[in-house]
Amino acid sequence: MISSLSPFKLERYFARYEFNTRYLLCSSDCESLAVQDLLALEPKADEGLLKHWLGYTESLGSPSLRQEISQIYTTIQPDQVLVHSGAEEAILLFMHAALQPGDHVIVHSPCYQSLSEVALNLGCQVTSWKGKEENGWMPEIDELKAAIRPSTRVIVINTPHNPTGLLMDRERFLEINQIAQHRGIILFSDEVYRESEFAASDRLPAACDINNQAVSLGVMSKTYGLAGLRIGWIATHHAALYARMTQLKDYTTICNSAPSEFLAELALRHREKLAQRNLDIIAANLAMLDRFFAGHAEFFSWVRPKAGSIAFPKLIGEDIERFCDQLVSTKGVLLLPGTIFDDQGNHFRIGFGRKNMPEAVFRLEEFLQSKSGGSLGIAAPLQVH
Ligand SMILES: Cc1ncc(COP(=O)(O)O)c(C=O)c1O
């Protein structure tokens, strides 16, 4: 029952800080835009928005938006795309469509909480398939094989990954798809950070394009920086699952916001440009973070990601929750302790998709300096270029 879902720790943490904290140094989405910036992408787009009809929209998502989304994939037709109000709605509906109490689910961990929580709440057995820092956060394929049971109905993966930033390599991604497909297990592939790979050649195929039992999850929020549109989708060749999800959607949102669908479609026609804008911000920010972590190597471990706008470094020598509390209260800089993801390794999520990241890191640096008489010894001050 949805009413018995446990509190979503990450969302509750953000609810405390997101709109009263100056520097969100742990956001997972990229720098956003104003409506006028999106409308400037095409002549007469403003007129189109002003004339856009505000009645109910088609429950599956408007045909032209689904057409635009299908272009992201190589084998997907518009009628294999189901548009939702954010990726979050799609996760909820997928789990309810695919699972029965007693089913077994394997979830790539640590994870965005709803990817495991909704299945648990449905009375499923959930096995965490854990990424290891020493392997660049990649979980072991042998452990996946060992975790599979006759009752395993769904494997959930997420790459590029929240919170670790892991971009799986192609070989292992293909292998996971084969393992699931050969055993008749549905693969739910959370690809909300796809198209944010630093090298386009590292981009993985979408699971739905290589596996007819897979469901790919996409969203406007992350790579394209348009979280406020609340437009997400699934793409799949699995017709029965698709049909079941459309039925369930009648009980959540019925259809999506009409202006959001208009703006999402416009944005997707220019998605490469929007992604590149954010990749440029990320590249500049990462160069700064590299210098920061190199200057403080005794206090942080740093696995540099190959995609996305987040990573999961480790703090050495002090409790991460205490560190984050002090940082936000004294410097107005928010980091996300890994305990929010049930991580016990003293990691924290850092986000580098926002334009004001350099100022936030500068304040973090000041914070470290102010603690230099305390438990953390501090290296030379950060040079901000
Ligand atoms: C891995 C992952 N999946 C799904 C979502 C949900 O996306 P949205 O908030 O746009 O619905 C998030 C958001 O942080 C996420 O990180």
User: Among residues of the chain, what percentage have pLDDT more than 70?
Assistant: 97
Q: How many CB atoms lie within 10 A of CB 222?
A: 29
Q: How far apart are the C-alpha atoms of 160 and 138, rounded to whole Å?
A: 11
Per-residue pLDDT, 371: 82
Per-residue pLDDT, 1: 81
Q: What phi, psi does 150 have (nearest 5°)?
A: -60, -30
User: Does residue 109 register a pLDDT over 80?
Assistant: yes
* Arithmetic mean of pLDDT, 192-211: 98
User: Does residue 129 register a pLDDT over 50?
Assistant: yes
pLDDT, tens digit, 9 for 90 and up, residues 8-60: 999 999 999 989 999 999 999 999 999 999 999 999 999 999 999 999 999 99
Per-residue pLDDT, 385: 43
Helices 86-98 & 114-121, crossing angle to 10 degrees? 40
User: Among residues of the chain, what percentage have pLDDT more than 90?
Assistant: 94
CA of 140 to the centre of ligand 1 (A): 24
Site of tokens 């993985």: 204
Per-residue pLDDT, 382: 53
Per-residue pLDDT, 373: 64
pLDDT, tens digit, 9 for 90 and up, residues 371-381: 876 545 444 44
219 lines ligand 1 (CB under 6 A): yes
Q: How far apart are the C-alpha atoms of 70 and 57, rounded to whole Å?
A: 19
Report whether 188 contacts 162 (CB < 8 A). Answer: no
87 lines ligand 1 (CB under 6 A): yes
Site of tokens 């109905």: 153
Q: For the chain, how long is the longest CA-to-CA vector?
A: 62
Residue closest to 279 by CA, chosen among 349, 194, 159: 194
Which three-class secondary structure state does DSSP give residue 277?
A: helix
Q: How far apart are the C-alpha atoms of 263 and 32, rounded to whole Å?
A: 13
CA atoms within 13 A on the CB side of 203: 15
Q: What phi, psi does 127 have (nearest 5°)?
A: -105, 130
Q: How far apart are the C-alpha atoms of 45 and 226, rounded to whole Å?
A: 17
Q: Which atom of ligand 1 has the smallest separation from the CA of 161?
A: 1
Sign of the alpha-carbon torsion through 157, 159, 163, 164: positive
* Arithmetic mean of pLDDT, 289-297: 95
158 lines ligand 1 (CB under 6 A): yes
Q: How far apart are the C-alpha atoms of 333 and 326, rounded to whole Å?
A: 9
pLDDT, tens digit, 9 for 90 and up, residues 334-368: 999 999 999 999 999 999 999 999 999 999 999 99
292 lines ligand 1 (CB under 6 A): no
First to last CA, the chain: 52
Strand 23-24 relative to strand 310-311, pairing: unpaired
pLDDT, tens digit, 9 for 90 and up, residues 305-340: 999 999 999 999 999 999 999 999 999 999 999 999
Q: How far apart are the C-alpha atoms of 188 and 300, rounded to whole Å?
A: 33
Among protein residues, the one whose CA lies closest to atom 4 of ligand 1: 87
Q: Which atom of ligand 1 has the smallest separation from the CA of 230?
A: 10
User: Does residue 130 register a pLDDT over 90?
Assistant: yes
Q: Which atom of ligand 1 has the smallest separation from the CA of 221?
A: 10
pTM: 0.96
Tokens of 347: 């990691």
Q: How far apart are the C-alpha atoms of 185 and 297, rounded to whole Å?
A: 42
Q: What is the mean pLDDT of the chain?
A: 95
CA of 88 to the centre of ligand 1 (A): 6
Q: How far apart are the C-alpha atoms of 190 and 91, rounded to whole Å?
A: 9
User: Does residue 257 register a pLDDT over 70?
Assistant: yes
Cis geometry, peptide bond prior to residue 358 (ω within 30 degrees of 0): no
Report whether 117 contacts 105 (CB < 8 A). Answer: no
User: Does residue 2 register a pLDDT over 90?
Assistant: no
Per-residue pLDDT, 35: 98
Q: How far apart are the C-alpha atoms of 190 and 128, rounded to whole Å?
A: 15
Strand-pair partners of 325: none
pLDDT band at 298 (very low <50, low <70, confident <90, very high): confident
